[in-house]
Structure 1
Amino acid sequence: MAQNLDDNYKIAYDNKAGFGKSPALVLIDFADAYFDPGCVLYAGVDDALASALRIREVAHDKGIPVILTEVTYQPGGRNGGRFFEKAKPLSCFVKGQKTAGFAEGLVPRDDEIIVSKQYPSAFFGTSLASTLTAMGIDNVVLTGLTTSGCVRASCVDSMSHGFITTVVRDACGDRHPAPHEANLFDMNAKYADVVSEAEIIAFFRSLKGEAHG
């Protein structure tokens, strides 16, 4: 049955978008909450962060813009709307809590853009799309947490905003392998190219000089 499903998707969706000429790297919601064993959102995704950090270093070496996203809420979740009402673990992202901060090892740099958001997509209700457009970006490269949540939402919105979208498998994580793999499969079929860490690093390194000043 699985083979038949794979064959069916290959017939309908077997296409690669490829890479663009001017990429930007986005690290989605690498928050302490996902790395704290005492937190309800703990997901054991250290490998995903390590991969994203390696890719980030190459991006900086090549002058590729790097964007970090964070989820942040006012006390009581006043600015979280229905999402905050529905998903109770979002209380971990109320401003001032340790779990709301960036994970250990991810320290924002002065030349990185930080996008604060209240909903799953990095694009919804933020200036990310217009910022990337103004910078001349044509290819959004996504890493982050979680694959089935904010990565997927950001992937769909990235494509919808007209960006070639790439998702790095090794640098995304989820608390369970089933939704992780299912969403990577679906994103690769319809919205983005899902690639390995090695593939995205090779692409970044292939760019001549610095991609951006």
Structure 2
Amino acid sequence: MSTEEDLLANYKKAYDNRVGFGTRPALLLIDFCQAYFEKGNALYAEVDEALASALRIRSVAHAAGIPVILTNVVYHPSGFDGGRFFEKAMPLRNFTQGNPMAAWGPGLEPLETELVVSKQYPSAFFGTSLASTLTAAGVDSVILTGLTTSGCVRASCVDAMSHGFKTAVVAEACGDRHAGPHEANLFDMNAKYADVVSEAEAIAFLETLRPSV
């Protein structure tokens, strides 16, 4: 009978490849909204460290002069534009227009130079102009941070890869409501769709892109 170590070794044998960072990346901060930081909310998760990590990477990304995109989820008060997603996932009611839980998380406010992409579905790419915008800007790769690892980060990861962007997911800059889904989805994304990297790796790469003085 195979042990867990045997199964992991077999999985690694099939999926043990890294594609590396691209040459013209963009940074995405996915759905760092107040609902995830509000104790007592159905979406609450202990993700303060994930946001702190994303903010550190964001600072280096700006110094490197690469595009920074923030995403959020926004629905009509009726939820009509949320379709089956809104019907299925009850906590999405936090993201109707005007709901304070849809505001940006603590310490996060879009800068004038940053693009905000509002969406109604899990992926930052589905039903938005993001792929076209990045392509027109000559972007060849994306670095993903955000919430939640098993939801909108994973969906955005799969779509980023499917649109032809080299994709990196920063482990410490993503978060979820439970360690199990977080780790399982990082494992799966790293196997099939992206390189899962550390904050230190992402920052070291972005440092190489800083304009020379």
Equivalence for 1:2: 4
Q: Which residue in 2 is equivalent to 1:109?
A: 111
- 2:122 maps to which of 114, 120, 123: 120
Mapped pair 1:71 → 2:98: no
Quote the offset at 1:40 in angstroms. 1.1
Large movers: runs of 4+ above 4 Å: none
**TM-score normalised to the size of structure 1?**
0.97
The alpha-carbon deviation at position 151 of structure 1 amounts to: 0.2
Q: Following the alignment from structure 2 to structure 1, what is the Cα–Cα distance between the partners of residues 7 and 143?
A: 27
Q: Does 1:32 align with 2:34?
A: yes
User: What is the SS of the residue equivalent to 2:211?
Assistant: coil
Gaps of 5+ in 2: none
In the alignment, is residue 176 of structure 1 matched against residue 178 of structure 2? Answer: yes
- Render the CA deviation track for 1:34-69: whole Å, top value 9, x for unaligned: 000031110110000000000000000110110000
| Gapped regions of structure 1 (runs ≥ 5) | none
User: RMSD over aligned Cα, in angstroms?
Assistant: 0.9
Partner of 1:185: 187
- Match of residue 85, structure 2, among 55, 58, 83: 83
The one of 19, 24, 45 equivalent to 2:21 is: 19
Q: How many correspondences in the alignment?
A: 210
* Alignment of 1:129 onto 2:131: yes
Distance 2:210 2:72 in 1: 31
TM-score calculated relative to the size of structure 2: 0.97
The superposition leaves residues 11-54 of structure 1 with CA deviations (integer Å, 9 ceiling, x where unpaired) of: 11110010110010000000000000031110110000000000
